[in-house]
Amino acid sequence: MATAMTITEKILASHAAKEQVSPGELIEVSVDLALANDITAPMAIRVFEELGVKRVFDPEKIALVPDHFVPNKDIPSAEQARIMMEFAHRQNIKHYFELGESGIEHVILPEKGLVLSGDLVIGADSHTCTYGALGAFSAGVGSTDLGVIMATGRIWLRVPATIKLIYQGQLRPWVGGKDLILFTLGQLGVEGAVYKTLEFSGEVITELSMEQRLTMANMAVEAGAKNGIFDADDTTRTYVEERSSRKGSYLSSDPDASFERVINIDTSEVEPQVALPYSPDNVHSISQVDPIALDQVFIGSCTNGRIEDLRVASEILKGRSVAHGTRLIVIPGSPLVYKEAILEGIAMTLLDAGAVIGPPCCGPCPGGHMGILAHGEKALSTTNRNFIGRMGHPKSAVFLASPAVAAASAILGRIGSPEDL
């Protein structure tokens, strides 16, 4: 009789053509989608070409997304984008996105139905773990590994042990997926799940929208995890079937599957959360954070640049103004998010409040452009990392929070909660 398995183990077993796998086992798996961006693709392309291979393993199973330094901010970034574009055209890559149809890779791939439940996705970007929200196994690798995957369609992986997180209770006002994952990082620490799977479950999780789940899966890597993953349920099925004609595998962990740890979290006690410099696990409840004056607030990124995030921010900003001396930068995660924001009147609300809206891209999150911080400046951001120098000068400081806290803080000109308004 087959041994009980977790969702992650089931996906890895099927892609290794094995009946079952167990934690610690080294396996070779086939890849459903390989992903790179304008920073990581040129290095992967160089590795691919050094292998002497003429054609990629499958031009329909590779996605190349210019999103980090676009529209090109300088000559080196323009060269990076050109290398990727020329390779995509040479290889007839189906999922290469020109600037007008591109956005943040981890926003547009789910949106365009390119990832389904049960898929195995490998990307040359650490936040590839985002797609676990869809019930897929997805993980980041270096550009060298990705170059080999583009040639072979395969990769060696060690099967991760799974930490099961069970969220139960009621959500307090203004608390969402970003607060839950920040709270969890505060509990686990940035090394609390190194090369593990974080499996998100419980009654609270089943009620979360796909946008909220994508936010949580996105930051699994901040605990050191190999991947984050959710049960494929009705929310998942509705989301993917509206976007793809491919059939997914809707998987759940077996009731008697083996977990390395099981952690219960009572969400009734969780307030809006803020991660203080200089680590995503330096987390405190908003009521415990000093009202620190802010030079900049940024709403966007692969963590919180979706339409639901902009709706929350707009709801708080409507009829109000950004504080004098504070900059509010909003970057929609994709052209579709941008269009929806225009159609729903969100863009007008943001502009009326004094926000600057940028084109869909990563923007200032990785220290790219359109919002770099100067010496001594403090920013509150809906992004996923706040390491030293992450968004600019090494003597700047970044605080992480949800779109609700970000919008309220932009109005207040300091770190604060929607309740303060």
Contact 42, 76 (CB under 8 A): no
| CB-based contact 205:213 (threshold 8 Å) | yes
CA-based nearest residue to 362, from 35, 42, 70, 43: 70
| pLDDT of the residue at 1 | 59
Q: In a 3-state reduction of DSSP, which class is residue 83? A: helix
In the predicted model, residues of the chain with pLDDT beneath 50 are none
The count of C-alpha atoms lying within 13 angstroms of the C-alpha of 333, restricted to the half-sphere facing its C-beta, is 26
C-alpha span between 173 and 312 (Å, rounded): 12
User: What is the tens place of the pLDDT at every residue in 349-387?
Assistant: 999 999 999 999 999 999 989 999 999 999 999 999 999
pLDDT for position 3: 87
Cα pseudo-dihedral 310, 117, 193, 224, rounded to 10: -60
Check residue 368 and give its pLDDT: 86
**131 upstream amide cis, omega within 30 of 0:** no
Digit-coded pLDDT (tens) for 21-47: 999 999 999 999 999 999 999 999 999
pLDDT of residue 201: 97
pLDDT of residue 167: 98
E strand segments, 115-160: 120-123, 137-140, 154-158
| Domains (range + CATH), the chain | 7-264 (3.30.499.10), 276-420 (3.30.499.10)
In this structure, the strands spanning 261-266 and 162-168 are parallel
| Pairwise CA distance, residues 76 & 82, whole Å | 10
- Which residue shows structure tokens 């869909």? 360
Query: Do 313 and 299 meet the contact criterion of CB atoms below 8 Å apart?
Result: yes
Structure tokens at 218: 């996105």
pLDDT of residue 2: 72
Rounded to whole angstroms, the Cα distance separating 3 from 310 reads 44
Q: What is the DSSP string of 329-373?
A: EE--SSHHHHHHHHHTTHHHHHHHHT-EE--SS-TTTTT-SSS-B
Beta partners for residue 163, in sequence order: 198, 261
Q: Are 385 and 362 in contact (CB under 8 A)?
A: no
